Structure 1
Amino acid sequence: MESVKRRFISFEGSEGCGKTTQIRLLKKRLEERGQKVILVREPGSTPLGERLRRLLKHSAIGFCPLAELFLFEASRAELIKKIIEPEMAQNTWILADRFTDSTLVYQGIVRGIPLKTIEELNQLATAGIQPTLTILLDIPVTSSRFRIKKRDGQKPSIDKLQADFERSLEMVRKAYLELASREPERFYILEATGSPKEIATLVWEKISHVFEL
């Protein structure tokens, strides 16, 4: 057992759950306490990851599920080696907008790739590194659809990957809750229908407990 917990927290949930807002609020609060914090997203955060993100989300090219999975894992492997491992060595707080759980849900449950295959690739890409805490922001499908519609009305471009997965919102929500039930020591399920401030307070309370702040 590690004497010092890795300051690695991932945020998961279906589209429209408020991950980005909560990550930014948490970053601000940690920095106000003098902590070094970095934000990462999947796919993305490295030059290769950002190119793959654009390819996956906005390209007219269609990918078969397995090819899509390999692109996500390539981005993840680069993220681990170029950012996460070096920052962990500096005891930096790492806040991730999605990580391996998203791949199990979207490429596994939704796309139909065997979970065992994804778990093996995740293990290889991450060198066994997992978040200490995963915050699952859970919202009803009706709330998710409402937030997506409101948000997308302000966007200049269409996220094709997101639009594809929006058709499976109920499946996505159930899959996340199933994953969380398997690892209750890592997951914190948070009903995310309240105000951003209310949710941020609950997030901070959990993090303060887990990391003994």
Structure 2
Amino acid sequence: MIPRFVVGVLTLLLLGACRESTPEKPVHTADTHQRHPDPAQPELNSAPAVAARAQQRLRTVARSGNIDHDVTSLLLEHYRGAQQAASVERATGRDPDLRALADTLRREWQQESLALGRLAGRTHDKASEEYTRFYQEFSRDVQAACDSAARYSRPPTGNPDADFAAALSAHLRTGLLLVQEGIAHGSDPPLIALAHRFHHDQLHHLRQVQA
């Protein structure tokens, strides 16, 4: 009788310990995974997706009220977006010409980003009423240039090379419009010289992509 009672008590204790040691899965775990998709998903890292995020960042570049400073900030962000799209092509593309272009964009990013970073630190006090109106016109033109990206965008095809070519083409067209605003409204001589070089190089790359 006693041994049977002892066995029963031990059995109950063991069952209770098992229940206590089994952790309950938090209720919010599944929702968290749904809110934060796996960044390795290819559709999130495709050239069209990368270019779309780059275009969105162009719209949110902080404005200082100084045209020369803002032009350098916009071109720096544009170069960053082109370089990121080029990184996708170098990782997933197969077309030798497009891969060569992607490598060229990488080298240009390394060179021009340094020059643009130095120019971004050059600010000028031009807080006159006339300059304020001039800056407002510049801001409207920049907004129109960013809006134009929607006209050039193409739906993704799933082909890395074709998607890179289409995304880069749209990105370069926007960049050409931005640099034209820099040439038209800027006043800093080194910036104007860089803008002319930028326009030449980006137009050349656009023709390469279109070919």
Q: Same fold (TM over 0.5)?
A: no
Bigger share in helix: 2
Bigger share in strand: 1
Alignment TM-score, normalising by the size of structure 2: 0.27
Alignment TM-score, normalising by the size of structure 1: 0.27
Q: Which has the higher contact order (CA 8 A, sep 6+)?
A: 1
